Structure 1
């Protein structure tokens, strides 16, 4: 028994010896500058449909605050970037921004040159009483020396604009039925690029208004989506006088009936009904740009059809007008035209939206505002076409109730065809 006690005491002494040795040793770091960098916190969510995630949303009287946990922390540099510009270095960010949507990127780089990053958008909302400019369509793409507009709220408080460091003081504030806006002239010496807009009130206070893009390129905004074979084709946009050629269906067109800074008129090629690729070149060899479905492209699809054109123009429709105002309805196709149509014909109504209007919709009715059989109100969010199959019941209703109308709010009837 005594022998067992001696053995236990020896083991305890040996344990104390090893403990005292390890306590004297310095702790050591297991991560080095050669390890891959990682952002441990916060975790940015994944974007959807190709869009970057929204990582923060605040009011403009608050600050964007964020703290990053990274590894290897002792060997990494953290760089914060907003809209591509470095704004801070370090793991903690605390910054105030004017109203608008910003592209955020945080970059972690190790001493060995390895790096990783996270990116997303930050939304800073204006206060209720602030001047603020919304984005309606392609009005944010502007040309040096050209006329431009900004839609928004409380714009009557704006005394001047600042774009690219240049102050624009000659503003025209307009209260329109479809929304309020500011008209201004773009400075002629403004270089091509993207700039944040500042709205400045009479006291010199500055408010954010997101960005505009300055372009010198030929930019087609309307008319390029559809055409009829061997007929007049009218395109509108910016810098249209720079267009040297358009190529569609393998055929290049260089002769134009009319050409100005805002409009191009040509005879469309004699193509069979179908869809074709459309591209263009400017006089200096650059690609023509096209505004299509909310984005800018250098190649779009054009639909050719052999439809009979019943109307072509740009007729605004809104039920806000009083009876007797020509823009309360679209009534420019007489009922005698429908008398010769056969049941089963398709009426195509090509429209473009008024960006300043909200709750836009289109309805097709008789002359007495009776909705045509088989149709319903169509909500409008972008330019497009509404197709109506003319049943015999619909054709009879048009004859019995004084014709055909397009009613609703917030759009232009640009063309009506029948096939």
Structure 2
């Protein structure tokens, strides 16, 4: 009898348990004083400090995501895009213009305890949409200054907004079958990252991604490497405000060229090595530098005995139409090579354009013939391509209309010879 009684008790307990598990409404086992946790979805970890991509959609689809959290009955959920709160609740469902967004979701308990997750939301334009692409450093702009936008279908754009301020001076320029936009940045646009909106001829707003607005002197190229006692060129925005540059204690205050977009000066006489580069503007504020994907008031510059043939940030893609300046790199004249002795090594420093579908480098004569002893090189990360300037190479450059760097999906940042 005792056995039958125990069996009935066990069956009754199991019945109650199964009934609870099958209940359509989940019950909360965590209280308001417990730590909050996001159970789903799982967010990827950062890679090399970079935010992971958590969603990739086309602009005709809403950005949707729903969280499973605990303690589910005692939390509030807030969603942020580019630092602005855009929604509340455990689910977000909203349309977005094309572009890349920094997303953050914050879960807060009634007791004030919080947890959060961050990631990138990528919204792709449709094929027929006007859209922008980054070619160089045109994403850094100054209030009241001239700027440009590159992309596709830009001939369908009739208006432009930066930071939600309408651009009053804008021109769509035809360019070998394509188009780019030249515009004056609104004087009142706030500093920092601002989103661009393209207004189509159909009166529809399209995403133009983000630009960085700054009234400070910002050096974007030429501040990573230089040759002692040689001409040094730096480019950026607001560079006419620069009063001086400091190379680890050695100051430069005389400039052969000083415009809003360009500085030229003689690099100080320094030994080979790495130096901390800083600068001051005329108003005493710090010069800023863009390096390693961040803007800071100092950077590291390498002084080398190598001769610099060219320095900058020039995009290369043979997919572009003839006549486009970025179809090739042809910025070193053939006369430069007449004084170079056979056996010298030319170093081509390049950086990857991450949105390109492939990355390939090729060095040729002006007739697009491979330089003797060279071939196409597939690359996947920033690096240096070394080319030995044999007599055959120098002859090809001399006899076949000069020197080209061609290929697709990368920037030429520096060319030196040693």
Q: What's the TM-score once normalised by structure 2's chain length? A: 0.79
Q: Could you tell me which residue of structure 1 aligns to residue 55 of structure 2?
A: 56
Deviates more, 1:129-138 or 1:405-414: 405-414
Deviation at 1:349, TM superposition (A): 5.6
CA contact (8 A) 1:363 1:371 kept: yes
Deviation at 1:366, TM superposition (A): 5.5
Q: Distance in 2 between matches of 1:302 and 1:331?
A: 23
Q: Distance in 2 between matches of 1:185 and 1:234?
A: 25
Q: Distance in 2 between matches of 1:377 and 1:37?
A: 54
1:12-411 pair list within 5 angstroms: 30-177=29-176, 180-292=179-291, 294-307=293-306, 321=322, 332-334=333-335, 337=338, 341=341, 343-348=342-347, 363-365=362-364, 370-377=369-376, 386-392=385-391, 394=393, 401=399, 405-406=403-404, 408=406
Specify the SS of the correspondent of 2:134: coil
CA contact (8 A) 1:362 1:406 kept: no
- Tell me: CA distance 1:72–1:82, structure 2 relative to 1, closer, same or farther (3 Å): same
- Tell me: CA distance 1:402–1:287, structure 2 relative to 1, closer, same or farther (3 Å): same
Output one character per residue of 1:334-387: Cα deviation in whole Å (capped at 9) or x when no partner: 49926x72x432234678999999988664446765533332245799998653
Deviation at 1:234, TM superposition (A): 2.7
Specify the SS of the correspondent of 1:241: helix
Q: Distance in 2 between matches of 1:122 and 1:316?
A: 26
Output one character per residue of 1:17-59: Cα deviation in whole Å (capped at 9) or x when no partner: x99xx9xxxxx96422111011112211223222222222222
Kindly report the root-mean-square deviation, in angstroms, between the aligned alpha carbons of the 2 structures: 4.2
Deviation at 1:252, TM superposition (A): 2.3
Deviation at 1:221, TM superposition (A): 2.4
Specify the SS of the correspondent of 2:271: coil
Unaligned runs of 5+ in 1: 23-27
Q: Could you tell me which residue of structure 2 aligns to residue 25 of structure 1?
A: none
Unaligned runs of 5+ in 2: 17-26
Specify the SS of the correspondent of 1:284: coil
Q: How many residues align?
A: 398
Deviation at 1:176, TM superposition (A): 2.3
Output one character per residue of 1:155-212: Cα deviation in whole Å (capped at 9) or x when no partner: 1111101122221243211232495311111111222122211111234211111111
CA contact (8 A) 2:235 2:312 kept: no
Greater C-alpha radius of gyration: 1
- Tell me: CA distance 1:403–1:308, structure 2 relative to 1, closer, same or farther (3 Å): farther
Q: Distance in 1 between matches of 2:93 and 2:135?
A: 32
CA contact (8 A) 2:136 2:315 kept: no
